[in-house]
Chain A
Amino acid sequence: MTVTAPEMLVGASTDFLKRFSPFNRMEPDALHFLAHRAALAFHPRGSEILTPEMGQARHFFIIQRGKVQSRQTGPASVTEYSSMTMGPGECFPIGAVSASRPSTNAYVAVEDSFCFQITADDFMQLMQMSPVFHLFCTQYIASLLNQSRQQLQSTFSQRAAEQQTMTTPLAQLIKREPIFVGPDCSARMALEKMAESGIGCMVIADDAQRPLGILTQSDLLRRLLLPGVDLSLPISEVMTANPHQLPCSASAYDAALEMATHAIRHLLVVDSDGQLQGVVSERDLFSLQRISLRQIRAGIESAADIESLRRASQDIRQLALNLIAQGIGAEQLTQFISALNDALTRRIIGLALEHHELYGIDFAWVAFGSEGRHEQTLSTDQDNGIIWTCPELQDAQPLRLRLITFAREVNDNLAACGFPLCKGNIMASNPDLCLTLDEWRGRFGSWIREPDPQALLNASIFFDFRVLYGNERLGDHLRAWLNKSAKSNSAFQRMMASNALQVAPPLGRIRDFVVDDDGTVDLKKSGARLFVDVARILALRTGVESSSTVQRLRRAATKMGVPNEEVAAIIDGFHFIQLLRLRSQHLDTEHDDANDNKVNPETLNELDRRILKEAFRQARKLQLRLKLDYQL
């Protein structure tokens, strides 16, 4: 007996699996393990294979034959698809089994089906054994993240459209002088004019410019071409008489309603005398000119006073909303907000410098905390300070006082522009934070040498610094010095690590999330911060100079040889949490609010909840790594 029965049957399963991705790329050992552990079971047509009610998913299924339908069971329209049919070689549920939680979808056999199944434990082991399979699962989850983002965007487009488009008066939507012809103009001439001007419809008006009729592109086929109408006939013979019109003062909303009611694509806009002012098309309503990045930026840079900067800061808020609607991810979005806030701050500093004599003082205005990390959300108070150098043979004290007076004005003006004063007085006008380069080094050095709880807290705010204005080299010096000092002090790193592990991701053993008394999860405290804290430590350890969490993670990972996919998954998780934070700030309040970072998982849709859980799992993974590295 050369080949045993199990070997033959495992071989047969292997051959089957090899016909499908990702199994065809899987490492031989892993594939053999899978084929060996895979039990075959039958699911008659109409039977439920896996449903949320069955509780924690205990098996991973690979369809061998037949068809299985995956149906969303939560609130409708969670993703673009509400049900999806899967065939041989496809597998489920990846998310649920890797997260040890109930499936969010119901899987029902729509034909008599055979499925291979392995236990959740074997699934986990397979993930560990097989980088290919691991990547496959990671990418699958990443695609969920992507889907959710798209969905988020559609929520926002709708909202932005409502806010901006729908209340705009039609007079503002008209893009060009009205183009029209008289009723006696020949059809041919009218068509030529349409083609020439590249317009979708031709208006026919009388001598007083009052509309008489309209001919749209969609009319051409039915009224002119198919009946073979003589093109020398006057246009009034083929036009639609008594076209729909609205006054200039009507809103885009009225226009949309009128179009929907009469199933038309074009509306004529007339003034109070009934004179044609222009045409509004369905498309105009959806492609409204929005506040652009460039406009705001130009506005900020040319602003002559605080009042115009204050308006600019409101525009920034509005822009953020539009940017989400246009499909920008959390990373770019926070970068845009950050860039504009930087420009705003620079302009405020520039205005203040006009009446503060600081000539000859070498200084840098730095941002700390989230601003320092380029991760500002829309309700961030100011965290800033000054690094300066005292010229030799000069008394530091008077110079410091001048800087502080200047800083106070900047702080107040920032507050006027929507950046609330820092409650903890982390502001450049605080003499404690208006320090020379040497003083900063001394301060940072003492925290590193004696990392008591307060020092660690300080480190978590001040080590994320970034120069906003002034001499950048001061910041570079401080950064280089800090990285060197922290890198060589592993005891300090270890304390930072232990501090970072104080808060665990709010993942429950039984329920999905561990929530606070009010049923919410704090996305800042027990979400974003988990990533930020670990990233800071990794950056110090590997000497990464960036202050942004994502950059820190990416570069540290490269240095430490962590696979790209793994980092990408972690970063996706971080972005998702940031996006949820931005969303809750927008949708809930539009103003600063203590609850800005709180989200009630119950109010999230199935998919978001699922992804949030995955994001927290990524945080846990990151923490676990730290725990192992520092043996905590």
Chain B
Amino acid sequence: MNWLSRLLPGRDEARPSNTATRALIEQWAAIPDVDPNKPHFETRYVVVNTEASGLDLERDTLLSVAAIAIVEGQILPSDSYYATLGDHAAAALGGLVEFAGKSPLVVFSAEFNRTLIERAFEAHLGFTPELIWLDLYVLLPALFPDRLARPARLAEWMEVFGIETFQRHHALGDAWVIAQLMLAIQARALPQGAFNARLLADIERSRRQLQRQT
């Protein structure tokens, strides 16, 4: 049986059992660590996106999560994940942890998405996996200063690259956009020497520092 199924609440269970969460944590810990020095081509990235009740981190809550994998510089539609939290928040988040494994995560605006997701992990699973997070909100203007030199909204980047999606403001619909932007990032990063996740994370960090200074 899939260990995930144990996270699904039974008839009279409102919350997942501690055993199920423990199994999840053990399972996750057992996954071999991802080497952040491996080139993009050999790294599985997971684009993660959320849908929340609003944009206020203090008040609003996570409604759904979506994830799309990028393997060998390609997006395969079947390698994706989407779940609404609702009554099955633990199962939805557990599924995300299972889908993501230890892959570096890619988000657009970590400040919002990462915060929401990690908070939800803590609340529903009592555990926050330690992962590399890459934020395209910061990386895009760093790598494509010729297109837009300042941090911009997702819609603006869509226009720059002519990217479309089947449903905007939907967790998966926007994840589809972010995944395509990540493909562009990978292609652009290579000739600049940022051929792995660690180097991308370095670019992001120095960029953040620069922004704080100015």
| A binding-site residues for B, Cβ under 8 Å | 1, 4-6, 8-13, 15, 35-36, 38-44, 47, 65-66, 112, 114, 117
Contact = CB atoms under 8 A, between A and B. Distances in A.
B84 interface: yes
Given A1-B84, A44-B188, A47-B187, A35 B77 contact: yes
Contact of A4 (B67, B75, B82, B176): B82
B162 A65 contact: yes
Nearest to A42: B183
Contact of B180 (A8, A10, A36, A40): A40
Interface string B157-196: 0000111111000001000100010011011100000000
A396 B77 CA distance: 82
B78 A42 contact: no
A76 to B, nearest CB: 31
Nearest to A4: B82
A43 B188 CA distance: 10
Contacts of A47: 187
A12 B74 contact: no
Given A1-B84, A112-B184, A36 B78 contact: yes
Given A15-B166, A114-B180, A5 B74 contact: no
24 contacts: A1-B82, A1-B83, A4-B82, A5-B67, A5-B82, A5-B172, A6-B79, A6-B80, A9-B80, A9-B172, A10-B78, A11-B166, A13-B77, A35-B77, A38-B77, A39-B76, A40-B75, A41-B75, A42-B180, A42-B187, A43-B187, A44-B187, A66-B162, A114-B180
A47 B183 CA distance: 14
Given A40-B183, A42-B184, A44-B187, A6 B162 contact: no
Contacts of B82: 1, 4-5, 8
Interface in B47-69: 66-68
Contact of B161 (A9, A10, A112): A112
B163 A65 contact: yes
A117 B166 contact: no
Contacts of A112: 161, 184
A117 B71 CA distance: 13
A9 B183 contact: no
Nearest to A113: B162
Instruction: Identify the 10 closest CB pairs spanning chains A and B, nearest first.
Output: A5-B82, A9-B77, A42-B183, A12-B166, A5-B80, A39-B74, A40-B75, A6-B78, A44-B187, A39-B76
Contacts of A35: 77
Contacts of B172: 5, 8-9
B186 A42 contact: yes
A36 B164 CA distance: 19
A349 B84 CA distance: 91
B123 to A, nearest CB: 20
Given A5-B66, A12-B176, A40 B74 contact: yes
B39 interface: no
Interface residues of B, number: 29
B153 to A, nearest CB: 20
Nearest to A9: B77
B141 interface: no
Contacts of A40: 74-75, 180, 183
Interface of chain A, main secondary structure: mixed
A253 B188 CA distance: 59
B180 to A, nearest CB: 6
A93 to B, nearest CB: 18
B73 interface: yes
Nearest to A115: B74
B141 to A, nearest CB: 16
Contacts of B121: none
A298 B176 CA distance: 74
B157 to A, nearest CB: 12
Contacts of B81: 5
Looking at A4, A5, A12, A65, the one whose CB has the most chain B CB atoms below 10 A away is A5
Nearest to B81: A5
Contacts of B80: 5-6, 8-9
A120 to B, nearest CB: 16
A12 B177 CA distance: 12
Contacts of B161: 112
B66 to A, nearest CB: 6
Contacts of A42: 73, 180, 183-184, 186-187
A589 B30 CA distance: 76
A449 B2 CA distance: 68
A114 to B, nearest CB: 6
Nearest to A38: B77
Looking at A10, A11, A36, A40, the one whose CB has the most chain B CB atoms below 10 A away is A40
A41 B77 contact: no
Contacts of A11: 166
A250 B84 CA distance: 90
Contacts of B83: 1
A1 B85 CA distance: 10
A9 B68 contact: yes
Nearest to B147: A112
A65 to B, nearest CB: 6
A36 B79 CA distance: 10
Given A36-B77, A42-B186, A8 B166 contact: yes
Contacts of A15: 166
B74 A117 contact: yes
A602 to B, nearest CB: 36
A396 to B, nearest CB: 79
A217 to B, nearest CB: 51
A595 B83 CA distance: 71
B94 to A, nearest CB: 13
A50 to B, nearest CB: 15
A28 to B, nearest CB: 16
A533 B73 CA distance: 50
B48 to A, nearest CB: 12
Contact of B74 (A6, A13, A41, A65): A41
A4 B180 CA distance: 20
A36 B187 CA distance: 24
A421 B76 CA distance: 67
Given A5-B82, A41-B73, 8 more contacts: A6-B78, A8-B82, A10-B77, A12-B165, A12-B176, A40-B75, A42-B180, A42-B184
Contact of B77 (A1, A6, A43, A65): A6
B140 to A, nearest CB: 13
B163 to A, nearest CB: 7
Contacts of A6: 77-80
Contacts of A10: 77-78
A459 B62 CA distance: 81
A9 B186 contact: no
Nearest to B83: A1
Contacts of A9: 68, 77-78, 80, 172, 176
Interface string B75-100: 11111111110000000000000000
Contacts of A117: 74
A10 to B, nearest CB: 5
Contacts of B73: 41-42
B38 to A, nearest CB: 19
B173 to A, nearest CB: 8
A31 to B, nearest CB: 13
A1 B77 CA distance: 18
A60 to B, nearest CB: 14
A10 B73 CA distance: 18
A8 B183 CA distance: 20
B75 A39 contact: yes
Nearest to A6: B78
Nearest to A47: B187
